[in-house]
Amino acid sequence: MTEELTGVRDTIAQLIKELVPPHASAKRIYEVVDASGYSRTLVEAVRGGENMWSRLPL
């Protein structure tokens, strides 16, 4: 289960980075936030390369 969740988290992080590159507009960021249900804080952190999920317990 731990490996599966880690894989899912990595996949989501990669998708966020693809959908919201560093030059993305604020509108695009909010589109991803609205569509994903994730907070802007999480999206911004993942987009910036920070792995916030590594600190979450499984």
- Residue 37 CB partners (closer than 8 Å, separation 6+): none
16 vs 50 pLDDT, higher one:
16
Taking only the tens place, the pLDDT of each residue in 17-56 is: 899 988 899 999 999 999 999 999 989 888 887 766 655 5
According to the model, what pLDDT value does residue 1 have? 84
| Confidence class for position 6, pLDDT limits 50, 70, 90 | confident
**Whether the predicted model's global pTM rises above the 0.85 cut:** no
pLDDT at 7 exceeding the cut of 80:
yes
The per-residue pLDDT for 55 is 57
